[in-house]
Structure 1
Amino acid sequence: MMKKINAAKYYQKLLSKVNFIDLILIKINFLYFMIIARNKKNKSLPLNIKIKILISTFCGTILLNSCGGTFRQQGAIDAPFISLELKRKFLIQELFYEENPSVMVIYASNSGRAYPWLYLRPLGVNYPSDKRALEVANRLEEYRLQKLKRLAWGTTDGQEIICAYTEQKLNLCQIVVTVAPGIDPQKVLILLQCKLKYIEEGSPLCPGPVES
C-alpha cells in the first residue's frame, strides 16, 4: 500500500527556514501543491515524486538557504550607502566587450553617466548572457532598495556564488550571481568592492565590467 504523504509536515519543516517576508508566496505555492496532490490523476504518484513536487514548487520562490544545500561563506565586504531613490539604478545595456556587442549590467549614476558593472558569461543554452544580465540587474536593484549592507562569496550545492546581505534581511545572504566556472569568485568580490566604493563617479582603478 502506498504511504500517504504528510504535506503539512513538510510545509512546516520548510516554513521554519524561511523569512517572514516570503510567507505569502509560500502559502500560495502550498495551496498549488495541495491541488496537485488531491487531483485524482496524481493519487497514484509515488511518495518521493510528491515530495519533489512540493520542494521544487517552494524553491521556485524562496531565497537562498531556504532550499537545497547549505551556504558556506568564504569572505565578505561591507557595502557603502547606495542611493535609495525610486528611479531605477541597475539596468542592462548592450555595450562592446572584447570587441563584441554584449548585454551587461550597468549602474546609472546620479550624474547621468552609466558605468558597466557585470558581464555575464552564458551558462549553457538555457542561460544566455542577456537573460543572466537581466536577472542579476533585477536582484541588485531589489537589494539596493532593501538597503544593501554587505556582499559575500561562498559555495552552495557545489556552486560558487556572490550573495548580498541587506538591512531588511541581515541574516540571509540572497544570491546575486552564480560565478561561472574558471572565474575566481574572490576576485569578482574584490572588483565589485571597487565598483561600490566609486559607485557614483567611477574610477580607473576598476574599469570595465566584472566578468562572471
Structure 2
Amino acid sequence: MSGTIYVINPNSNQGVTAGIDAAVAPLRSTDGPAIECLTLAEGPPGIQSQRDVDGLVSPLLKRAAALENDAAAFVIACFSDPGMHSLREQSERPVLGIAECGVLTAMTLGQRFGVIAILPASVPRHLRYFGAMGVMDRCAGDLPVGLTVAELADDGRTMGRMTDVGRTLRDTHHADVLVMGCAGMARFREPLEKELGVPVVEPTQAAVTMAIGRARLGWGGRTLRGTAA
C-alpha cells in the first residue's frame, strides 16, 4: 500500500518520539501503509500549557505541508491535538489527533473513562476539549501525576505515580477504562493495564489504528465531502 502515515510528535523531545515509535511498532505490517514517527524540532521540549499548544501550530502545518505528497495520513501525537483542525483544512489526507482518538476508543471499551494527565495545568485544557467533543457525561475524571514531560523519563517514579492516579480513577471515580493523557507515557500501557486490571488506552496507538483503517479503506481527508473530515 502506497503512502506513509506520518506520526508527528509536536514537542522536540527525541526520547518521546522513540517511545511513540516503539508503541506503534506492533501496528506495522509488510503490506503497509508505512508508519514513520517524526519530531517537530521547532516545538517546545514538552507541551504543557495552552501557550505551548498555540505556538506550535504554524511549524506543524509547515512540516506537514512538506510531507503531503507522500502521506497516507497524519497523526498528531500530543494529547492536546494541537493544530488538528487547521491541518484538516490544509491537507487532503486524513488527520487524526491522539486525544480525540484515545477518548473515542476508550468509549468502546468501557462506560466511563478516566484520564491520567501529566500536570494540574493540563486538566482544564483537557476538560475544555472533552466538553467540545460532547463526552463529559462519559468522563469519570482527569487527574495529574504531577510530572513534567522530561520527568516522565524516570520510569520508577512515573510508573508509581501513574499507578496511584489510575487506582484513584478506578476506585474513587469509578472509571472502567483509562486513557494515558500524554504521548510520553506510551511505554507504560501494558504494565499499567496489568497492575490495575482495567483497559488502558495508549492514544497514539488508538490514532494510528484509525489512520490505518482510513488509509486501507480509501477514506480521504477534506476532499471526501469538500469539508474537513
Question: Shorter-chain TM-score category?
Answer: under 0.3
TM-score w.r.t. the length of structure 1 is 0.23
Task: Name whichever structure is richer in strand by fraction.
Answer: 1
TM-score w.r.t. the length of structure 2 is 0.22
Question: Which structure has the bigger radius of gyration?
Answer: 1
